[in-house]
Structure 1
Amino acid sequence: MPRGRHRHSPPLHKLLPPSAVAGAAVVCAAAAWLPGDLVVVRLLAAAAAGAAVTGAVLMRSWDRSAGRQVAELQRARTADQWKADERTAELEADLEESRALRARLDAKLRAKRVELAALRGEHADLLRRYATAETERASALEGRRVLALEATAATAGDPKALPAAGSTPTPEA
């Protein structure tokens, strides 16, 4: 495989036939001026004409081949452009679909966040109610304990035996 600046240069076997045909036509035409015999001049002129016709046929075949290559390249380019347009349309459709999916998921996430915030508020309310109930329960127990101590102290007849509120009675008291 050729590399470098000669990569696209035409090979010698493609340049030799047109050069040979043109050279043969020029040689025959120039040689027709030299001899004096009319038959030789006619033969040389016929050879020059034949070489020119051969060159014309050869050039026309190359022109057709080049036209086919150009048409094929244009078809390939059009097909590639069509494929690129289709791919672009597919990607745009995928983008719209992903945007719609993202919007749905964002809405779902917002709803879950609202629900979570409501649950957190409900949980905090339950904790407050539990703390209030525990405080009331502790107050009731403390009130019962104080009443029980007062009742015990009243039956014993010693008002000094009543300990201060919030303290627990000890066996020595």
Structure 2
Amino acid sequence: MPLGIKYRVKNGDGSISTVRTISIGVDGGEVVIPTVLKGRVVSDEEAIQHYERTGANFGTFATPEEATAFAEELHNRHARELEREGRSSDFAPKGIEGERITSSYRTPERNRAVGGVANSYHTRKGSDGRALARDSVPPPGMSMARYAEILRQQNPHLEVINEGDHVHMEPR
């Protein structure tokens, strides 16, 4: 199964679950199976039935301890991704007068066409619907290095990368 966030379930306390797992012993080891299916938390019994029917799992491990360690790391990975998304609504980069924005949101197709990486922030939008990445160039007469330095000072909460022919900004 893909390890990224696929479903989100709003819990009664207002928190969000994206991954919840159990592990079961099978021939050959301990298999980690999801208990968040199609946008809802299911019982352990339903999860096992789903696994038996579809084979959907996150992996088979030699011991229950290894399965638990993997499940904890997967949970932590999702928590970090949600944290980044939470900060995404803060993606409001400050620029300078005379700069030119050359790219922001891209469809996955456009991103591929321009040679962007598959997991680019350019293909994502924050909860406010705004793009999560921005490429720009400095005003005429300013070096790219100086421009990147100014943007870093103005946007300490953002990743500011001097790409040589433009400056890229995205959430940290």
Question: TM-score, normalised on structure 1?
Answer: 0.19
Question: Normalized per residue, which structure has more helix?
Answer: 1
Question: Normalized per residue, which structure has more strand?
Answer: 2
- Considering only CA atoms, is the larger Rg found in Structure 1 or Structure 2? 1
